Amino acid sequence: MNFNLALPVGTTLDRFIMRKQEAFPFATGELSQLLRDIALAGKIVNREINRAGLLDVTGAYGQQNVQGEDQQKLDVIANIRFIRALRNGGEVCTIISEEEDEVIQTGNKKGKYIVAIDPLDGSSNIDVNVSIGTIFSIYRRKSDTGCDGTMEDCLQSGTQQVGAGYVIYGSSTMLVYTTGHGVNGFTYDPSLGEFFLSHPDIKTPANGTVYSCNEGSINSFPEGIKQYLSYCKDNNYSARYIGSLVADFHRNLLKGGIYIYPATAKAPNGKLRLMYECNALAFIVEQAGGKAIDGNRRIMEIEPTELHQRCPLIIGSPEMVDKVEEFIKSEVAAV
Ligand SMILES: O=P(O)(O)OC[C@H]1O[C@](O)(COP(=O)(O)O)[C@@H](O)[C@@H]1O
Ligand SMILES: [Mg+2]
Ligand SMILES: [Mg+2]
C-alpha cells in the first residue's frame, strides 16, 4: 500500500476558527473562544468515555434528572466537564443543561452568550460501547451584559441561534458545527490531541432510502407517520436506529435519510428536548440543505415556553421530510 506522505498537514479546528474570524473584521473573537472551550471539554469527555470501562464510571449514578430519567455516571461527569469549561472560558453567562433543573448562572455576568447543552446524548448506549454524543446550541443574550442571563435570554427560538453543533464519540470522535455559514466536521486525532478539518462544507443528500425511528412504539404513532413508514417498507427502504440521536442524525446527514421521533402514548409531546437536542440539529441540517419539522411547523420557529420542553422531531433529507409532511397533511385533510 502506498501512503501519500506529501499530503499537507490538515487544518486544525483552532486555525479554521481563526480564519473564519478573520473574515469578519468586527468580530470580537468571543464566539471563537467559546467554540474552543466546547472543543476542549469534548476532548476531555472523549477521554473519560474511552477509559470508562477501566475506571469506576460506568453504570447508573443513582439519581434522576428533572425529566425523571435515570442519570448515568457519565451523564453527570460530562455535565460537570462542560459546565466547568464554559464557566472558565468566560464568554457564557448562563447554561441550560439536560442534567440541571434550573439554569446555571456561571458568574460571568459580562458573558454575551447562553449555551443550551445535552452533555451526553444516548444514555442507554453509554455502557455498551455504542456511539454517543454531546449536542449544543449557542444564543446571544438579549439583556445588557453586567448581570445574570434572564429567562428571556434563555427561551429564544432556534432561529436566534448563533451557533450549534455536536460531538460524536464513535468509531472516531468528531466535532460538527455551524455558525450559520455552512456546516463543517472535524475528526479528532487522539495522538496529537487536535481536531482536524475532515468534512468541509457538509451538504446532506436531497433524498435517501434510510429511515430511523423506534418502531417498537408504532401502535401509538400518529396516523400520517404510520403511513409514511408503510411507504418506506413498500419502497424497500432500510431501517437504521441506534438509539443515540447524535449517531442516527450524523449517519443520515452524511448519507441521506430521515430520523423520526413522533408523539407517542408514552411521550405525548415527543421525547426529545427542543432547547438542547432539536434546535441544534435543526440548525445544522438546514445549513446542510436539509429540513426539520415537528409535523406542523419548522422546528426552529417554535417559541419555547419551558427550558426542558419536548417536541416531536422529523429531520433529515429535504425530500424525505416533505414526503412525511404530505402524509401528515393528507391524514389531517381526511379527518
Ligand atoms: O429509547 P428511545 O425511546 O428510542 O429514545 C432514544 C432517544 O432518546 C435519547 O437517548 C435521549 O437522549 P439522552 O440520552 O440525552 O436522554 C436520544 O439520544 C435517542 O434518540
Ligand atoms: Mg439526548
Ligand atoms: Mg443526555
pLDDT tens readout for residues 248-259: 999 999 999 999
Distance (Å, whole) CA 42 – CA 265: 35
Query: Taking Cα atoms as reference points, which of 253, 260, 261 lies closest to residue 206?
Result: 253
CA-proximal residue: ligand 1, atom 5 (nearest):
243
User: Which residues does 322 contact at the CB level (< 8 Å), separation at least 6?
Assistant: 291
Distance CA 87, CA 275 (A): 20
User: Are 300 and 157 a contacting pair, CB within 8 Å?
Assistant: yes
Cα separation, 51 vs 119, whole angstroms: 17
Mean pLDDT (whole number) for 264-282:
96
Q: Which helix (H) or strand (E) holds 37?
A: helix 30-51
Burial of 156 (0-12, 13-18, 19+ CB in 10 A): buried
Quick one: pLDDT band at residue 1, thresholds 50, 70, 90?
low
At residue 175, does pLDDT exceed 80? yes
Residue stretches of the annotated binding site? 98, 118, 120-124, 214, 241, 271, 277
Residues around the ion ligand 3 (C-beta < 5 A): 98, 118, 120-121
pLDDT digits (tens, 9 = 90+) for 118-148: 999 998 898 899 999 999 999 999 998 999 9
Q: Which ligand is nearest to the CA of 216?
A: 1
Q: For residue range 67-88, what is the model confidence (pLDDT) as tens digits?
A: 777 888 899 999 999 999 999 9
- State ipTM: 0.96
Distance 276 CA to ligand 3 centre (A): 9
Cα-to-centroid distance, 243 and ligand 1 (Å)? 6
Note the ligand closest to the C-alpha atom of 78: 3
- What is the predicted pLDDT for the residue at 8? 53
Q: What is the mean pLDDT of the chain?
A: 93
What pLDDT band is residue 56 in, cutting at 50, 70 and 90?
confident
Which residues are CB-neighbours of 30 under 8 A, at least 6 positions away? 91, 112, 113
Cα(28) to centroid(ligand 2), Å:
32
Residue with CA closest to ligand 1 atom 7: 243
pLDDT of residue 113: 96
Q: Within 10 A of 206 (CB to CB), how many other CB atoms are there?
A: 13
- 30 has pLDDT over 60: yes
The beta-strand segments (E) located in 44-112 are 60-64, 70-72, 92-97, 104-105
Atom of ligand 1 nearest to the CA of 266: 3
Residue 96 has pLDDT above 70, yes or no: yes
Identify the residues whose C-beta falls under 6 Å from ligand 1.
69, 98, 118, 121-124, 214, 243-245, 271
pLDDT at 25: 64
State pLDDT tens for residues 8-26: 568 999 999 988 877 776 6
Instruction: Look at the block and give the residue holding cell 424497500.
Output: 236
Confidence at residue 248, expressed as pLDDT on a 0 to 100 scale: 98
* Proximal ligand: closest to the CA of 166: 2
Minimum CA distance residue for ligand 1 atom 20: 245
pLDDT at 291: 98
User: Angle, to 10 degrees, between the axis of helix 13-22 and the axis of helix 30-51?
Assistant: 170
For the entire predicted model, the pTM comes to 0.94
- Output the CA–CA distances (angstroms, integers) from residue 191 to 9, 47, 188, in the order listed: 14, 12, 9
Q: Give the chain's domains with CATH numbers.
A: 13-199 (3.30.540.10), 210-334 (3.40.190.80)
The protein residue whose alpha carbon is closest to atom 10 in ligand 1 is: 122
- Radius of gyration, CA atoms only, the chain: 20
Q: What is the per-residue pLDDT across 191-243, written as a single tens digit (0 to 9) for each?
A: 999 999 999 999 999 999 999 999 999 999 999 999 999 999 999 999 999 99
Which is it for the CA torsion 296, 301, 306, 309, positive or negative?
positive
